[in-house]
Structures are given as structure tokens and as C-alpha cells.
């Protein structure tokens, strides 16, 4: 299907909404390890680490991948999408982080295909099915935004905001946090989300990466927790 310019905002709101079936609500990306060890034990401690995660991990890796995938799809460069997808996987040092990105990516791709019937994305899907690449969430999100001609800035911002919102939803269940406190944490992140969007869009391919090694360690430890509510 085609999306009219007046419908682009509606597309972004729907795809980035927590109800869109990506399975992101099942993943803590290592945060459950810190909650289990009580390094994170309330809203304030969660907010501090969440802001670091956004700045030092998400923006320069997955956020940048959304921007580059958007550009590659608009240029019709499937080989660039495949190479980007391989890079995104290589930047995720823990098995659980890679699997989470892969699983949410495949769920996102399936939902996009069934609901919006994107045509150009089918070529990238064929590359995934043939084993040329894994199909990570950030790359698929950016590619879909590129196909439907959404503004790159809005696509990156939507992706980052959805990531923060989903993680806050996870934290609200397992710390736990109240609904109002959770929403205030997301509100407080607004200025940082704008800054992270600029950072992501200005990150070159050879500059992509994470400088938050602690989240990789937490993710590696997560699979050995005695009890787990989240998949990652």
C-alpha cells in the first residue's frame, strides 16, 4: 500500500506504539540484571541508567542504524542494508542482545508485511530469508520508514522514543514503578531524545558503536539469573 503525506504521522504513531506486535515488552536488554542486583531499585536510579543507555548505547548504534537504513532504502541499495544489518549484529556483544534484536526485527517485519504490505521491503526480506543477514529491528524500522518516505528525523526520534517507552514499561512491572512515575520518566527524557536523534543522524557508519560496556556485561549475566521475567 501507499501512505499519503498526511498519513505519515499516523504510520509512525502506529508502528512505534507499544501495542504494535514486536515483542519488545518481553525484553529488558540487561536492565533486569541490574534490577535483580538492586543497582536499580526505584524510579530515580532507573532514570539515571536509562539516560546513559540512550546516550552511550542506543543513539550511536541502533539509532544511527535507523538513519542509515532509511537512506539506503530511499537509494534502493539493498546491499547497503545487508551490510548495515551485519554491522548492527556485530555491535551487540552478548548473545541475548543479538537474539532480542533479531526476534523483535522479525516480528516487526512480519507485522509490517501483514498490515501495510510494503513492496520494496520484500527485497530486503528475501535477503534475510536467504541467510545474507539476520534482520535486526533498527534496520527494518529505518528501511520501512524510508520506503514510505517518512522524514528521517521523525523516524529516528520515533524509534528512540519507542525504545525508551518500552523499557520504561518493563521497569514499571519488575521494579515496580507507578504509572504516573513511569510517564514522568519518559517526559523527562524528551530533551535528551531530541539530542540523541541529532547524535544518531550525525553518526557515520564507521563511528557506530556503544561505549557502555556495562550494559553488555549485564546482558551476558542475565541468562544466568536464578529467576527471569524478561527474555533478555
Q: Please, what is the angle between helix 152-174 and helix 190-201, to 10°?
A: 130
Rounded Cα distance, 27 and 232, in Å: 5
Q: Are 11 and 159 in contact (CB under 8 A)?
A: no
Nearest to 133 by CA among 82, 92, 95: 82
Per-residue pLDDT of 47-92, as tens digits, reads 999 999 999 999 999 999 999 999 999 999 999 999 999 999 999 9
pLDDT surpasses 90 at 3: no
Rounded Cα distance, 102 and 93, in Å: 13
What structural domains does the chain harbor?
7-16+26-222 (1.10.4190.10)
Rounded Cα distance, 186 and 212, in Å: 21
The pTM assigned to this predicted structure is 0.95
Nearest to 65 by CA among 186, 178, 188, 152: 152
Per-residue pLDDT of 169-208, as tens digits, reads 999 999 999 999 999 999 999 999 999 999 999 999 999 9
Amino acid at each position: 500500500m501507499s501512505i499519503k503525506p498526511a498519513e505519515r504521522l499516523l504510520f509512525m504513531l502506529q508502528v512505534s506504539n507499544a501495542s504494535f506486535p514486536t515483542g519488545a515488552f518481553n525484553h529488558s536488554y540487561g536492565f533486569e540484571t541490574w534490577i535483580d542486583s538492586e543497582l536499580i531499585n526505584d524510579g530515580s536510579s532507573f532514570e539515571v541508567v536509562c539516560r546513559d543507555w540512550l546516550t552511550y548505547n542506543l543513539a550511536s548504534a541502533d539509532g544511527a542504524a535507523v538513519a542509515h537504513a532509511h537512506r539506503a532504502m530511499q537509494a534502493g541499495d539493498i546491499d547497503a542494508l545487508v551490510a548495515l544489518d551485519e554491522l548492527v549484529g556485530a555491535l551487540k556483544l552478548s548473545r541475548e542482545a543479538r537474539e532480542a534484536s533479531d526476534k523483535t526485527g522479525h516480528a516487526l517485519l512480519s507485522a509490517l508485511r501483514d498490515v501495510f504490505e510494503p513492496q520494496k521491503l520484500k527485497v530486503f526480506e528475501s535477503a534475510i530469508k536467504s541467510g545474507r543477514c539476520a534482520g535486526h529491528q533498527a534496520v527494518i524500522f529505518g528501511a520501512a520508514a524510508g520506503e514510505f518516505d517518512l522524514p528521517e528525523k521523525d523516524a529516528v526520534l520515533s524509534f528512540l522514543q519507542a525504545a525508551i517507552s518500552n523499557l520504561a514499561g518493563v521497569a514499571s512491572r519488575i521494579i515496580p514503578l507507578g504509572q504516573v512515575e513511569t510517564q514522568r520518566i519518559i517526559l523527562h527524557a524528551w530533551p535528551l531524545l531530541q539530542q540523541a536523534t541529532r547524535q544518531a543522524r550525525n553518526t557515520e557508519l564507521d563511528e557506530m558503536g556503544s561505549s557502555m560496556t556495562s550494559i553488555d556485561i549485564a546482558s551476558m549475566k542475565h541468562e544466568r539469573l536464578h529467576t527471569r521475567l524478561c527474555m533478555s
